[in-house]
């Protein structure tokens, strides 16, 4: 008896299933328009139910070698710079790069992994990522070589390129303590992202090592800061400053320069001077940091080296499959400007 060939699911099939237009499905897949959350979820659920696979390699030559890169958000300048380095390195070695922005959603990451594997990628690079997505990364590593960047998975056989998130936070706290600061607040996104967890661990370790007390009312771990960091920080800190008459910390340590920008705006609105009334420290050293008033003291990370190292480690794994797994650590440094008196 002849086997019945299963009909491939098309974009039109997904559109009918989700009760939307084909154009809307395309926009959801490619993130090329503002589609409502409800419609986006309906389309993504239809894609998952039907097993639809976008043909990401349609315009590539059949002989082209592909690697996939998955990032939490492609609009984040930190990831954008690292991705550009990967693309540059890949081009030199005759690889093409497919970049997928998972938008902090595990279901998106699951779909993209499946899509990339079925598209024949030679390897995958995962940047950042949530603390609950380890298993699907490990499962992917059973299929193709995998490198994780800006995070650590020390309990698994996997190549890593990490930034010294915990250690740099300890060093920043130690430097502040030596300068006489002891009331140090902390503003971060929530601890879903592994690098956020590492930075917070470093903050707490540093405070303990320096004999400093943590004032929990000035420690903020907020989910809304994963996206739209500037306005969300400004909004929530504005409400905090209106409600509280308690003493400000001497320093607000922010885990992103964009969070620091929002914090500076809220403090200025409330009539506080920086750094006279409170010092601000950021993280990432984006180009804007040096142009702020006052220029922002921040942690500098070599994101281009991060991207280059991720590709080089993946290439080494592709060429030498039996070699020992490795971890490359990218060192960070505090860039002192005028938002803190040091």
Strand pairing class (332-335; 297-301): antiparallel
CATH number for the domain running over 165-301: 3.40.50.2300
pLDDT digits (tens, 9 = 90+) for 9-30: 888 899 999 999 988 988 887 6
The pLDDT tens digits of the residues spanning 255-285 come to: 999 999 999 999 999 999 999 999 999 999 9
The mean pLDDT of 152-174, rounded to a whole number, is: 94
User: Which pLDDT does position 76 carry in this prediction?
Assistant: 82
The answer to whether the CB of 333 falls within 8 A of the CB of 300 is: yes
Q: Of all residues in the chain, what percent carry a pLDDT higher than 70?
A: 92
According to the model, what pLDDT value does residue 31 have?
A: 66
Quickly state the pLDDT bin for 244 (edges 50, 70, 90).
low
- Give me the pLDDT at residue 5, please: 45
Listed by start position, the domains of the chain span 16-163+305-331, 165-301
Task: Give per-residue pLDDT as tens, 110-142.
Answer: 999 999 998 889 999 999 876 667 889 999 999
Tens of pLDDT, residue by residue over 140-150, are 999 999 999 99
Tokens of 4: 């019945």
Residue 36 has φ and ψ, to the nearest 5°, of: -60, 155
pLDDT confidence of residue 119: 86
- Confidence check: pLDDT of 300 > 90: yes
Average pLDDT over residues 302-327: 95
How high is the mean pLDDT of the chain?
Answer: 90
Asked whether 275 and 304 are in contact (CB, 8 A), the reply is: no
Question: What is the average per-residue pLDDT within 72-100?
Answer: 90
pLDDT band at 64 (very low <50, low <70, confident <90, very high): low
Of 12-21, 32-41, 95-104, 182-191, give the lowest mean pLDDT range.
32-41
Candidate CATH numbers 3.30.70.890, 3.40.50.300, 3.30.70.1400, 3.40.50.2300; the one for domain 16-163+305-331:
3.40.50.2300
Contact 280, 340 (CB under 8 A): yes
Predicted pLDDT at 132: 67
Q: What HEC string does the chain produce?
A: CCCCCCCCCCHHHHHHHHCCCHHHHHHHHHCCCCCCHHHHHHHHHHHHHHCCCCCCCCCCCCCCEEEEEEECCCCCHHHHHHHHHHHHHHHHCCEEEEEEECCCCHHHHHHHHHHHHHCCCCEEEEECCECCCHHHHHHHHCCCCEEEECCCCCCCCCEEEEECHHHHHHHHHHHHHHCCCCCEEEEEECCCEHHHHHHHHHHHHHHHHCCCCCCHHHEEEEHHHHCCHHHHHHHHHHHHHHHCCCCCCCEEEECCHHHHHHHHHHHHHCCCCCCCCCEEEEEECCHHHHHCCCCCEEEEECHHHHHHHHHHHHHHHHHCCCCCCCEEEECEEEECCCCCCC
Separation of alpha carbons 140 and 119, rounded Å: 13
Do the first three CATH levels of 16-163+305-331 and 165-301 match, i.e. the same topology?
Answer: yes
Q: Which of 4-13, 190-199, 312-321 has the highest mean pLDDT?
A: 312-321
- What is the arithmetic mean of pLDDT over 72-94? 89
Average pLDDT on 79-89 reads 93
């Amino acid at each position: 008896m002849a086997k019945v060939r299963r009909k491939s699911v098309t974009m039109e099939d997904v559109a009918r299933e989700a009760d939307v237009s084909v154009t809307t499905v395309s926009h959801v897949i490619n993130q090329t328009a503002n589609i409502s959350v409800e419609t986006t979820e309906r389309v993504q659920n239809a894609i998952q139910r039907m097993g639809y696979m976008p043909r990401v390699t349609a315009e590539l030559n059949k002989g082209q070698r592909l690697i996939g890169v998955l990032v939490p958000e492609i609009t984040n300048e930190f990831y954008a710079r690292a991705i550009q380095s990967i693309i540059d390195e890949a081009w030199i070695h005759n690889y093409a790069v497919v970049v997928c922005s998972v938008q902090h959603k595990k279901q998106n990451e699951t779909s993209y992994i499946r899509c990339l594997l079925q598209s024949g990628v030679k390897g995958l690079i995962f940047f950042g990522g949530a603390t609950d997505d380890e298993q699907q990364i490990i499962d992917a590593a059973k299929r193709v070589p995998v490198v994780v960047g800006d995070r650590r998975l020390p309990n698994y056989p996997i190549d890593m390129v990490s930034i010294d998130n915990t250690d740099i936070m300890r060093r920043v706290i130690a430097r502040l303590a030596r300068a006489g600061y002891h009331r140090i607040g902390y503003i971060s996104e929530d601890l879903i992202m592994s690098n956020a967890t590492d930075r917070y661990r470093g903050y707490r370790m540093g405070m303990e090592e320096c004999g400093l007390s943590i004032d929990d009312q000035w420690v903020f771990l907020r989910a809304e800061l994963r996206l739209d960091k500037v306005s969300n920080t400004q909004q929530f800190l504005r409400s905090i400053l209106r409600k509280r008459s308690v003493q400000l910390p001497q320093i607000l340590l922010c885990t992103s320069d964009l969070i620091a920008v929002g914090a500076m705006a809220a403090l200025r609105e409330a009539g506080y001077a920086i750094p006279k009334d409170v010092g601000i420290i950021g993280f990432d050293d984006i180009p804007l940091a040096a142009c702020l008033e006052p220029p922002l003291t921040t942690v500098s990370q070599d994101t281009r080296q991060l991207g280059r190292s991720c590709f080089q480690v993946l290439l080494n794994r592709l060429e030498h499959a039996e070699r020992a797994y490795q971890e490359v650590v990218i060192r960070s440094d505090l860039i002192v400007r005028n938002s803190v008196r040091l």
